[in-house]
Amino acid sequence: MPTIQVRPADRSDLPACAELLAARYRDHAKRLPAIEPSLLEASGCQPLIQYLLGNPRGDSRVAEIDGKLAGFLIGARMSLPPNDFASQFVPPQSISIPVEGHAVAAGIDALPVYVALYADLAATWAADGFFHHRAAIPAGDPELQDIWVTLGFGRFLTAATRRVADPVLPDRGRAITVERASAEDIEDVLALSDDLMAWHWNSPMFWPVLHVTAEAVREFNLNALRSSETPYFVAYEDGRPIAMQSFLRPGFTPPIIRQSSDVYLFEGIVTSGIRGGGIGGALLRHSMDWARLAGHETCTLHFAPANPSGAPFWLGHGFVPVEHTMERIIDSRIAWARPRS
């Protein structure tokens, strides 16, 4: 096996890293929908990598074989205030490796390159107390996913995209009224959002419910509700709010997706006890009709792969996985359980 040399990345590595990333995207474009076309060329990838290399919270490495760039890996240290809105989704003292933050050259064995890159960075992160690592990878690449599984990661989150023009499966005829929420409906919106978070607290998802973020969540939703660009659709039955689908632009759509024609489905919820009755499908049909008339071509969302109701619902309604977030939590006892010297 050839010797792999790992060193910190610098600005001079930008063109070569962009070439590797563009080549990877061209491969993924053969099977993934709605790929951002600018990423198929190195010139379109350069700004993304340049931003990552310039991030003061970032750490980067490149791998060389016989003096040629074989791969790169870039991650950012996430240390958000506990009451920050994003703290609901980003663990404290964690590492985030975005989908554009890694690539390996074609034609070589990618596993040892990724192992060398991650081993170098992970040692630094763990030494500084960052034991929670996440890496985003394109969907539909079993070899790449297996590499991250080999590194100790498991699938935590999936981003999926559907064409808004595709038909939504017929519902079961349950009578609901769908209204576009306004800031005056904030209590209904927050109650439905709380129901969604409470559902994800359950097994096997086990997502924490952080009450300390309540003020930030209210403010985020109020600002979105006051926007005229994207709606929050709330479904009512006998005057009672029972479901919601909210939309953002650009939201949290991964950069791998063409964002100019995409709308992000932020929260989709049917209240506990009535899931599976066709309400979600009826609401999605209403939402996709709006998206089509608004000129959007695709809709993207995130779901927990382990969600026993949400995952099959979205996949069964035409959403195609485009990105997986892989996660690893290192045993923090390594900070004190050391080899005897």
pLDDT given for residue 47 in this prediction: 96
Is the confidence at residue 1, as pLDDT, over 70?
no
Q: What's the longest Cα–Cα distance across the chain?
A: 71
CA separation for the pair 77, 8 (Å, rounded): 16
- Judged by average pLDDT, the poorest of 109-123, 160-174, 244-258, 277-291 is 160-174
Query: Do residues 154 and 328 touch, judged by C-beta distance below 8 A?
Result: yes
Output DSSP code: residue 170.
P
pLDDT given for residue 175 in this prediction: 75
Is the confidence at residue 338, as pLDDT, over 70?
yes
Mean pLDDT of the 117-138 span = 97
pLDDT bin (cut points 50, 70, 90) of residue 101 is: very high
Asked if the peptide bond before residue 250 counts as cis, ω within 30 degrees of 0, the response is yes
CA separation for the pair 310, 297 (Å, rounded): 23
- Judged by average pLDDT, the poorest of 25-39, 78-92, 194-208, 314-328 is 25-39
Express each pLDDT in 44-97 by its tens digit: 999 999 999 999 999 999 999 999 999 999 999 999 999 999 999 999 999 999
Q: 266: Cβ–Cβ under 8 A, 6 or more apart, which residues?
A: 224, 246, 247, 248, 251, 252, 301
CB atoms within 10 A of CB 78: 18
Is the confidence at residue 173, as pLDDT, over 80?
no
Report the first-to-last Cα separation within the chain, whole angstroms. Answer: 32
The b-or-e profile of 311-333 (16+ CB within 10 A means b, else e) is bebbbebbbbbbbbbbbbebeee
Mean pLDDT of the 283-302 span = 97
Predicted TM-score (pTM) of the model is 0.94
pLDDT bin (cut points 50, 70, 90) of residue 172 is: low
* Displacement of CA 327 from its chain's centroid (Å): 12
Mean pLDDT of the 93-119 span = 97
Burial of residue 293 (CB within 10 Å: 0-12, 13-18, 19+) is exposed
Question: In CATH terms, are 5-157+327-335 and 167-317 the same topology?
Answer: yes
CA separation for the pair 290, 165 (Å, rounded): 10
Q: If DSSP codes are grouped into helix, strand and coil, which group holds residue 134?
A: strand
- CA proximity to 10, closest of 65, 57, 49, 66: 49
pLDDT given for residue 134 in this prediction: 98
Q: How would CATH label the architecture of 5-157+327-335?
A: 3-Layer(aba) Sandwich (3.40)
Mean pLDDT of the 113-141 span = 97
Q: What type of residue sits at position 98?
A: P
Write the CA distances from 18 to 52, 56, 97, 160, integer angstroms: 12, 20, 16, 25
CA separation for the pair 330, 125 (Å, rounded): 11
pLDDT given for residue 318 in this prediction: 96
Is the confidence at residue 174, as pLDDT, over 80?
no
pLDDT given for residue 278 in this prediction: 86
Q: How would CATH label the architecture of 167-317?
A: 3-Layer(aba) Sandwich (3.40)
Query: Do residues 234 and 179 touch, judged by C-beta distance below 8 A?
Result: yes
Write the CA distances from 155 to 119, 125, 318, integer angstroms: 20, 21, 20
Output DSSP code: residue 84.
S
What's the mean pLDDT when you consider all of the chain? 95
All structural domains of the chain with their residue ranges: 5-157+327-335, 167-317
CA separation for the pair 75, 96 (Å, rounded): 5
Mean pLDDT of the 215-239 span = 94
- Judged by average pLDDT, the poorest of 5-19, 178-192, 267-281, 292-306 is 267-281
Query: Do residues 264 and 319 touch, judged by C-beta distance below 8 A?
Result: no
List the beta bridge partners of residue 155: 326
Q: If DSSP codes are grouped into helix, strand and coil, which group holds residue 63?
A: strand
Q: If DSSP codes are grouped into helix, strand and coil, which group holds residue 224?
A: helix
Express each pLDDT in 266-286 by its tens digit: 999 999 888 877 899 999 999
